[in-house]
């Protein structure tokens, strides 16, 4: 018999979201009248922009004609889309040849793990989006789980808490480490400042580290002083890959379209450009993003598309403000609840001092019929926190807020 991939065997806990779904299902089965509202999963809820949807529909109809049909495209993506992303989002901080179109940021993160191989040390923010660590465990890069259940041996966990403004102590990172960094952050909602990112980039360049910068929420940044891409920081081109996505700004979570920037200046220890190997990975393991989705991406980047994306993000940010105001109510304040919402990300990260995340999750599900995400599912430093997501229809958000306002903890 074939041996099981030991990386998969090493994965400790189950994936967070299936466990949330299981508890929700069980609760719904025993409480059939409960009208459950989810402020849990970070999934978009609002319809696509008509302008963007029409571009995809037109492209799809074109495929049914002799003139409009095309089969496989370039694995790196349509030239027009690569150029548009470089000029609109990166304003000449990245060249079109450094933009690789993909089926999404999560998928790119998984492929990046094959780019670096099993011996690479990794560091992650704690709490963090699960794929950075779990994906590394699958490829073997994170080693086996620790016996005390406190994480994986090849992983340096970097606590990000209110005490350090959700920016980690970089001195814990060893030289030649792959650093996953997400800003605006999922789950904390925190956005790193220019000064913080400068420290991160300087540290990486000095210590031979490479940063995998997950900017999936860049479109939520409203404070003009906050960097929207790592390449706003001098020196980032020699130490950082940026992964990004249309999922959150354009509601493309189901359509599937993302991109990664791999600068020509980024090199491995032996001098090989990372860009060269990434090109090899994309041509070997990937066969190009859907051409229909790419037509939608192009439409998202014209004037109307950009305005529609901004309106969609504004809608979610307003939801976030409503949730924040509710959680700042007297019934929470008297229990010492701390609310972190920056207005530059979709998540309201909330601390319930002295309580376990899963207990608070169960209380809110039971008393308010609202599904949230327990912070501990994102890493040990997330214990006692709950992540409230602002993705939802306004009416549902308002109803969830009315119920939360009456919650007695
Ligand atoms: C939603 C999300 C993504 C986007 O993933 P896609 O595969 O592009 O849909 C990436 N990173 C983080 C942190 C996210 O929350």
Mean pLDDT of successive 10-residue segments in the chain (409 residues)?
A: 91 81 96 96 95 98 98 97 98 95 97 91 95 91 77 93 98 97 98 98 98 98 98 98 98 98 97 97 96 98 98 98 98 97 97 97 98 95 97 98 96
Q: Name the residue among 165, 169, 171 with its Cα closest to residue 188.
A: 165
The protein residue whose alpha carbon is closest to atom 12 in ligand 1 is 216
**Whether the Cβ atoms of residue 178 and residue 142 lie closer than 8 Å to each other:** no
Coil, strand, or helix at residue 59? helix
Tell me which residue of 373, 383, 307, 367 sits closest to 346, measured CA to CA.
373
pLDDT of residue 147: 67
Whole-number Å distance, alpha carbon 247 to ligand 1 midpoint, is 7
The residue whose CB lies within 8 Å of the most ligand 1 atoms, and thus the one to mutate among 40, 106, 289, 345, is 106
Those residues with Cβ within 8 angstroms of residue 11's Cβ, 6 or more apart along the chain or in another chain: 134, 137, 138, 145
Closest-lying ligand 1 atom to the alpha carbon of residue 102:
8
Determine whether the shortest distance from the Cβ of 106 to ligand 1 is under 6 A: yes
The answer to whether 262 and 275 are in contact (CB under 8 A) is yes
Dihedral (C-alpha) 294, 80, 82, 259: value to the nearest 10 degrees? 0
Which residue puts its alpha carbon closest to atom 14 of ligand 1? 216
pLDDT of amino acid 118:
87
Closest ligand 1 atom, residue 107 Cα: 7
Closest CA to 379 of 166, 132, 130, 169: 130
Which backbone phi and psi does 50 adopt, to 5 degrees? -65, -35
From the alpha carbon of 248, which atom of ligand 1 is closest? 1
For ligand 1, the distance from its centroid to the CA atom of residue 206, given in whole angstroms, is 29
204 lines ligand 1 (CB under 6 A): no
CA of residue 223 to ligand 1 center, whole Å: 21
Return d(Cα 207, Cα 132) in angstroms, integer: 21
Cβ of 250 below 6 Å from ligand 1:
no
Top mutation candidate among 135, 187, 245 for ligand 1, by most atoms within 8 Å of CB: 245
């Amino acid at each position: 018999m074939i041996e099981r991939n030991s990386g998969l065997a090493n994965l400790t806990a189950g994936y967070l979201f299936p466990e949330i779904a299981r508890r929700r299902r069980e609760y719904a089965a025993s409480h059939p009248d409960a009208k459950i509202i989810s402020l849990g999963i970070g999934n978009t809820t609002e319809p696509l922009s008509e302008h963007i949807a029409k571009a995809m529909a037109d492209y799809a109809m074109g495929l049914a004609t002799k003139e409009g049909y095309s089969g496989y495209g370039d694995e790196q993506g349509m030239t027009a889309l690569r150029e548009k992303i470089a000029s609109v989002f990166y304003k000449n901080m990245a060249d079109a040849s450094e933009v690789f179109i993909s089926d999404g940021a999560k998928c790119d993160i998984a492929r990046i793990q094959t780019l670096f191989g099993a011996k690479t040390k990794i560091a992650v923010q704690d709490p963090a989006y699960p794929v950075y660590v779990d994906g590394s465990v699958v490829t073997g890069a994170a080693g086996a789980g620790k016996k005390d259940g406190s994480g994986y041996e090849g992983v340096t966990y970097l606590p990000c808490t209110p005490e350090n403004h959700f920016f980690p102590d970089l001195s814990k990172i060893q030289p030649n480490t792959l650093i996953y960094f997400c800003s605006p952050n999922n789950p904390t909602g925190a956005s790193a400042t220019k000064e913080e990112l400068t420290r991160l980039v300087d540290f990486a360049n000095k210590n031979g580290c490479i940063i995998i910068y997950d900017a999936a929420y860049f479109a939520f940044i409203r404070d003009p002083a906050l960097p929207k891409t790592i390449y706003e920081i001098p020196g980032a081109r020699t130490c950082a890959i940026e992964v990004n996505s249309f999922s959150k700004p354009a509601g493309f979570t189901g359509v599937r379209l993302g991109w990664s920037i791999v600068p020509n200046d980024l090199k491995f220890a032996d001098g090989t450009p990372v860009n060269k190997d990434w090109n090899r990975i994309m041509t070997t393991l990937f066969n190009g993003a859907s051409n229909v989705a790419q037509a939608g991406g192009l439409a998202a980047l014209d004037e109307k598309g950009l305005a529609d994306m901004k309106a969609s993000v504004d809608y979610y940010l307003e939801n976030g403000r409503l949730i924040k105001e509710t959680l700042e109510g007297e019934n929470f304040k008297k229990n010492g609840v701390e609310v972190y919402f920056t207005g530059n990300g979709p998540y309201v990260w909330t601390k319930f001092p002295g309580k376990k995340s899963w207990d608070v999750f169960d209380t809110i599900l039971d008393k308010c019929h609202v599904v949230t995400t327990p912070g501990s599912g994102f890493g040990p430093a997330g214990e006692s926190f709950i992540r409230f997501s602002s993705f939802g229809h306004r009416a549902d958000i308002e109803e969830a807020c009315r119920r939360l306002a009456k919650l007695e903890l």
